[in-house]
A and B are shown apart, each in its own frame.
Chain A
Amino acid sequence: MSVLWTLLGMILTIFLLLGIAGFLVFAERRVLALLQNRWGPNRLGPLGVGQALADALKLLTKADFLPSFADPWLYRLAPLLVAFSALAAFAVIPLSPDISWAGDWQIGLLFILALSSLHVYGVFLGGWASGNKFALYGAIRAVAQLVSYELPMGLSLLAIVLLSGSLSLGGMTSAQSLPYILLQPLGFLIFTIAGIAETERLPFDLPEAESELVAGYHTEYGGMPFGFFFLGEYVSLVLTAMLISLLYLGGWHGPWAPGWLWLLGKSALLIFCFFWLRATLPRPRYDQLLHLGWRWLLPLALVNLMGTALVAAGLRWGWL
């Protein structure tokens, strides 16, 4: 019986997340419009919120299209991989100490990193299976970018693991009597930059780079297969924002309000900042992006980890 309930709950969570992703597409359009002094979609429903539904309906009702030159299996598999990797990661995200599916799972963080590697496969296969030159370029860029930024991301997370002594997200959040952003400001910065790069959003949307690569790896996609890529992107956006809130901003810790509200509030603020970045910044060049990843973020993340390790060891053995 409890298996059935769990299954139902998980399905409900997925729909909730998809709903949030759809809403975020709308929210982003309104926020961007606000930041760029125009209106954005404001006609359908209160504040135009019906636009999210209309967009979803449009994607759902479009013809299922398969280019004659594409590899049919991989072409269909790729968007599912991307959407799956983003959605599955939420299994280990706790909303508060007692609201989560597997928030206390001891390898929660590893699970998330593993899924983010799976995400790379989805993107690459999508670009490669499309049989389009622009998509191929997008896919190559995506792999290079995602792999380059996974390293500093993982290294900055290791420093937190050192501090909290736990690999479960619940444990890492509970350990924060002081938000880790104060102890790990550098790590926070590295993780945030790498996180935006992992979600492939402006200014790090090189794999899509519409003025150069048309639409990058999803050039040949339309309708719901494209919708899955799109949802994947926005679900990862939520995921990244929640991870940053959990790991660096104290997660559910906060006075006067229930913990889950604090977590959601912090995440929403971060998401707003991501929108803001998109509204303002140009896209760096491909080599500049990799340059930033390898020559700055990676060494800094290493230094950060070493420093943290030394301080942690010092505290433990009484050197400090």
Chain B
Amino acid sequence: MLLAEALQKEFSATPFTAACDDCLDFKLSVASLLPCLRYLRDDWQQPYRCLWDLTAVDERPLGGSFTLIYHLFNYAVAEFLRLRVPLPAGQETAPSVTALFANANWYEREVFDLFGLHFSGHPDLRRLLLPPQWQGHPLRKEEAIRATERPAIVIDRAHLQELLEQYQRSPDAGPLDDGETMVLNVGPHHPGTHGILRYILRLRGETIVAVDPDIGYHHRGVEKIAEGHSFHNFIPYTDRVDYLGGVLGEWPYLRAVEALAGITVPERAEGIRTLLAELCRISSHLVWLGSYGNDLGTMGPAFYAFRDRAWLLELLERFTGGRLHPQFFRIGGVADDLPAGWRDDLLALLQRVEQGLVDSERLTVDNPIFRARTEGVGVVTAEQAERWCATSILLRSTGRAFDLRKAAPYGLYDGVEFTVPVATAGDAWTRTWLHIAEIRESIGILRQLADILPGGPTLASDAALALMPKDRTLLDIETLIHHFEQMADEFGPPPGSALGLGESARGLLGYFVVSDGGPKPYRLRVRTGSFAHVQMITELGRGLSLPNFIATIGSLDYVLADLDR
């Protein structure tokens, strides 16, 4: 392999073979990190221009040290490259890569926040997700998982004012009041931010000169929670990372775990997964469409979109028992087969949703005022999208037809015909149109799935980590014992690490799971689209007026829980 040769020769990187996915994987010394990244970005024949993710693993209990994990992404060939950079024992500082990749800014702040590692040369290294007065760095292994095992958080009433003053920030290095401009907090409670999120703006008149998103209000620490749960028990949490996405969040996690455990999912289970994922995608897009209308001051689309979504949720409930959070996927397959009569119900629903979509379409993309508000607003260029590593609709609105379902098909996506809607204008109107076009494509996929869904088992019950079929546990003792051991958290997948990917509604969603052979994940990293896209606002927001700012942030289609995890 050519890249491997180049990296070995130039930077003495060693191929890392213990990973369980098919991602290119190298171990690199911290000294050659910057030259190597620069080489990959600028000089390699197929340059890796995107820093897709940056995170760390605390390997001190395993006899190692902190290891930084860089995931680079190449849109052109849809290929990931993983660099593992172990810090020497005792060292807690690494060089910052913000000079090479602008979007490393937030990722490094997150690692600083959660691991306490420093990055030399970072322009603004401070906590990102946790409050400024927080003590400790929760993803270090010595930190307790449960809140009850930590000392209670006590707010020092006597110094409350000083505590609050830490929140009085300006979005740039400038003073809060310079006599010319005004610092305005859009949020944490603001109808336009779609949840608890604070944009600190500096305004000159109604024009924004600087933006600093203050995030973390929804931070629940799912990455730490994962370390305290068995692989199976963590599945419900993945629904809630992107609470509009439903099973779209479960899938990448399970792909990672199944790669770790070497499980092949039966065809029918893959089919049911694809089917549910597309239903959830439609549901998520409809919510966005409705709430985006609300951002622009029209109430209508919300009710039409939610009407269609209510039918859809009813169907999801009949199929899975859950509505927003189906939590229906299991390691090795799905929890149950589809109920009798599912095909007719599904086709009838698709008919209704398709007809209802016309209403939403007329109220949004066809409405002249809507067009006037969104055309040419919030324009993202192809270059920007690449620099900030945008994915999903945000990327496809800039002219690049990258969709993981096409680029690296999983589930049954290679068995169905569909196109990836793509446009070049990169503005908010285009993104609205793309959402509607994608709903149409999903409807097409679902119609085909209704015909081609293969038969067979829905769970790979021969695999060690997969659940035992419930109807057999009371018939033979081996199955019962296996079931019991599994439920008692006796074993996990073999040691290793794997990246599970999925095309979610919010962006390219990735779960990077590290196993030490135990029943619980050793480390679990969630990389979400919302995080990458909201960071772009620091650049996109500059120069916008307040109404355009709201129209722009709405069009990015982020979900707060997905942003903060």
The 3 nearest A-B residue pairs measured at CB: A283-B297, A282-B298, A36-B303
Asked whether A281 is an interface residue with its Cβ less than 8 Å from the other chain, the reply is yes
Report the Cα distance A278→B299, complex, angstroms.
8
* Interfacial chain A residues near B547, Cβ < 8 Å: 209, 212, 285-286
* Interfacial chain A residues near B295, Cβ < 8 Å: 211
A279 touches B546 (CB 8 A): no
Report the Cα distance A36→B356, complex, angstroms.
13
Interface of B (DSSP majority class): helix
* Interfacial chain B residues near A133, Cβ < 8 Å: 182, 184
* Interfacial chain A residues near B206, Cβ < 8 Å: 137, 286
- Can you name the residue of chain A whose Cβ is closest to the Cβ of B190? A214
Find residues 288-317 in chain B having any chain A CB closer than 8 Å to their own CB.
293-300, 303-304, 307
Report the Cα distance A35→B307, complex, angstroms.
13
Distance in angstroms from B50 CB to nearest chain A CB is 32
Report the Cα distance A278→B363, complex, angstroms.
12
B373 touches A211 (CB 8 A): no
| Given A36-B300, A282-B293, residue A203 in contact with residue B307 (CB < 8 A) | no
B550 touches A212 (CB 8 A): yes
Asked whether A62 is an interface residue with its Cβ less than 8 Å from the other chain, the reply is no
Asked whether A284 is an interface residue with its Cβ less than 8 Å from the other chain, the reply is yes
| Given A214-B190, A284-B369, residue A205 in contact with residue B363 (CB < 8 A) | no
A282 touches B369 (CB 8 A): yes
* Interfacial chain B residues near A211, Cβ < 8 Å: 191-192, 294-297, 550, 554
Asked whether B491 is an interface residue with its Cβ less than 8 Å from the other chain, the reply is no
- Can you name the residue of chain A whose Cβ is closest to the Cβ of B291? A211
* Interfacial chain A residues near B304, Cβ < 8 Å: 36-37
1/0 per position for A263-304, CB-CB distance to B under 8 A? Answer: 000000000000000111111111110000000000000000
| Given A133-B182, A288-B372, residue A280 in contact with residue B363 (CB < 8 A) | yes
Where the two chains meet, the residues of B that have a C-beta atom closer than 8 Å to any C-beta of A are 182, 184, 190-192, 206, 293-300, 303-304, 307, 363, 367, 369-370, 372-373, 545-548, 550, 554
- Can you name the residue of chain A whose Cβ is closest to the Cβ of B546? A212
Report the Cα distance A31→B72, complex, angstroms.
54
A37 touches B307 (CB 8 A): yes
Scoring A205, A284, A287 by chain B CB atoms within 10 A of each residue's CB, the highest score goes to A284
* Interfacial chain B residues near A137, Cβ < 8 Å: 206, 546
Where the two chains meet, the residues of A that have a C-beta atom closer than 8 Å to any C-beta of B are 32, 35-38, 133-134, 137, 202-203, 205, 209-214, 278-288
A281 touches B369 (CB 8 A): yes
A203 touches B299 (CB 8 A): no
* Interfacial chain A residues near B190, Cβ < 8 Å: 214
Distance in angstroms from A233 CB to nearest chain B CB is 16
Given contacts A37-B303, A280-B298, 15 further A-B contacts (CB under 8 A): A37-B304, A137-B206, A202-B297, A205-B297, A209-B297, A211-B191, A211-B192, A211-B294, A211-B296, A211-B297, A212-B192, A214-B190, A284-B373, A286-B206, A287-B545
A279 touches B369 (CB 8 A): no
* Interfacial chain A residues near B548, Cβ < 8 Å: 285
* Interfacial chain B residues near A38, Cβ < 8 Å: 303
Report the Cα distance A198→B282, complex, angstroms.
40
Distance in angstroms from B360 CB to nearest chain A CB is 12
- Can you name the residue of chain A whose Cβ is closest to the Cβ of B363? A280
Distance in angstroms from A204 CB to nearest chain B CB is 10
> Which single member of B191, B303, B307, B545 contacts A214 (CB below 8 Å)?
B191
* Interfacial chain B residues near A32, Cβ < 8 Å: 299
- Can you name the residue of chain B whose Cβ is closest to the Cβ of A141? B206
* Interfacial chain B residues near A202, Cβ < 8 Å: 297-299
Distance in angstroms from B258 CB to nearest chain A CB is 42
Report the Cα distance A137→B203, complex, angstroms.
11
Report the Cα distance A37→B311, complex, angstroms.
14
| Given A284-B372, A284-B373, residue A203 in contact with residue B297 (CB < 8 A) | yes
* Interfacial chain B residues near A287, Cβ < 8 Å: 545
- Can you name the residue of chain A whose Cβ is closest to the Cβ of B182? A133
B372 touches A285 (CB 8 A): yes
Report the Cα distance A283→B300, complex, angstroms.
12
* Interfacial chain B residues near A209, Cβ < 8 Å: 297, 547
Distance in angstroms from A98 CB to nearest chain B CB is 42
Report the Cα distance A281→B547, complex, angstroms.
16
> Which single member of B192, B303, B367 contacts A282 (CB below 8 Å)?
B367
Distance in angstroms from A292 CB to nearest chain B CB is 10
A36 touches B299 (CB 8 A): yes
Report the Cα distance A287→B548, complex, angstroms.
11
B373 touches A281 (CB 8 A): no
Distance in angstroms from B558 CB to nearest chain A CB is 15
* Interfacial chain A residues near B293, Cβ < 8 Å: 282
- Can you name the residue of chain B whose Cβ is closest to the Cβ of A36? B303
* Interfacial chain A residues near B363, Cβ < 8 Å: 280
* Interfacial chain A residues near B545, Cβ < 8 Å: 285-287
A279 touches B373 (CB 8 A): no
Report the Cα distance A36→B359, complex, angstroms.
11
Report the Cα distance A287→B206, complex, angstroms.
11
- Can you name the residue of chain A whose Cβ is closest to the Cβ of B185? A133
* Interfacial chain A residues near B296, Cβ < 8 Å: 211, 282-283
Distance in angstroms from B291 CB to nearest chain A CB is 10
- Can you name the residue of chain B whose Cβ is closest to the Cβ of A204? B297
A281 touches B191 (CB 8 A): no
* Interfacial chain B residues near A210, Cβ < 8 Å: 191, 297
| Given A133-B184, A212-B550, residue A280 in contact with residue B300 (CB < 8 A) | yes
* Interfacial chain B residues near A285, Cβ < 8 Å: 372-373, 545, 547-548
Distance in angstroms from A291 CB to nearest chain B CB is 10
Report the Cα distance A209→B547, complex, angstroms.
9
Report the Cα distance A280→B299, complex, angstroms.
7
Distance in angstroms from A92 CB to nearest chain B CB is 33
Report the Cα distance A209→B548, complex, angstroms.
13
* Interfacial chain A residues near B299, Cβ < 8 Å: 32, 36, 202, 278-279
* Interfacial chain A residues near B372, Cβ < 8 Å: 284-285, 288
Report the Cα distance A88→B452, complex, angstroms.
71
Report the Cα distance A282→B366, complex, angstroms.
12
B370 touches A282 (CB 8 A): yes
- Can you name the residue of chain A whose Cβ is closest to the Cβ of B370? A282
25 contacts between A and B (CB under 8 A): A36-B304, A37-B304, A133-B184, A134-B184, A137-B206, A137-B546, A202-B297, A202-B299, A203-B369, A209-B547, A210-B191, A211-B191, A211-B295, A212-B547, A214-B190, A280-B363, A281-B298, A281-B369, A282-B297, A282-B370, A285-B372, A285-B373, A286-B206, A287-B545, A288-B373
Distance in angstroms from B560 CB to nearest chain A CB is 16
Scoring A32, A211, A280, A282 by chain B CB atoms within 10 A of each residue's CB, the highest score goes to A282
* Interfacial chain B residues near A212, Cβ < 8 Å: 192, 546-547, 550
> Which single member of A134, A214, A279 contacts B300 (CB below 8 Å)?
A279
